[in-house]
């Protein structure tokens, strides 16, 4: 029994080693390939993208996001209305149904960062934090 545990830990260690920094796990939530659009000097707004897999037996909600480089951090959807792309702030969060995968990608759901702080922007270490209703919070360092 002890051996199985050791092998399991070794497997887990390898898994984490190989996939860093593209995969993150918080309880039953898997985060893949997070990235944010490059922030140019003077730019006040940018957006972020990732994949979220809810592997749990119940639905979860991405309630809110935080970051160390923007004052205003929101979850947005994007729809075409009268031939115009329109963004909407999802104030009650983004529902991720059980056993499903959701893509945050250009032209669709995204993380919106505005009021980007000039000093914070030059920090070497940038992170975003995702707050889930059931599975907790996870900090994701950006490349």
Q: How far is the CB of 25 from Cu ion (least distance, A)?
A: 26
Q: What one-character-per-residue DSSP string does 38-83 give? A: ---TT---EEEEEEEEE-SSS-EEEEEEEESSEEEEEEEEEEEETT
Instruction: Kindly state whether residue 37 participates in binding Cu ion, applying the rule CB under 5 A.
Output: no
Instruction: Kindly state whether residue 76 participates in binding Cu ion, applying the rule CB under 5 A.
Output: yes
How many angstroms separate the CA atoms of 19 and 105, rounded? 20
Tokens 């920090």 belong to 123
For Cu ion, the closer CB: 37 or 76 = 76
Total residues contacting Cu ion by CB under 5 A comes to 3
| Binding map of Cu ion across residues 103-142, x = CB under 5 A, - = no contact | ---------x------------------------------
- Total Cβ atoms within 10 A of residue 76: 17
Instruction: Kindly state whether residue 87 participates in binding Cu ion, applying the rule CB under 5 A.
Output: yes
> What residues line the site for Cu ion (CB under 5 A)?
76, 87, 112
């Amino acid at each position: 029994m002890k051996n199985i545990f050791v092998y399991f830990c070794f497997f887990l260690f390898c898994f984490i080693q190989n996939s860093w920094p593209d995969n993150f796990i918080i309880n039953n939530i898997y985060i893949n390939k997070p990235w944010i659009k490059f922030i140019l000097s003077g730019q006040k707004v940018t957006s972020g993208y990732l994949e979220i897999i809810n592997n749990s037996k119940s639905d979860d909600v991405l309630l809110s996001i935080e970051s160390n480089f923007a004052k205003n951090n929101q979850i947005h959807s994007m729809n075409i209305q009268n031939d115009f792309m329109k963004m909407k702030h999802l104030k009650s969060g983004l529902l991720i149904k059980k056993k499903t995968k959701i893509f945050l990608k250009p032209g669709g759901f995204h993380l919106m960062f505005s009021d980007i702080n000039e000093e914070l922007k030059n920090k070497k270490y940038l992170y975003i934090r995702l707050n889930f209703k059931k599975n907790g919070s996870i900090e994701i360092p950006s490349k």
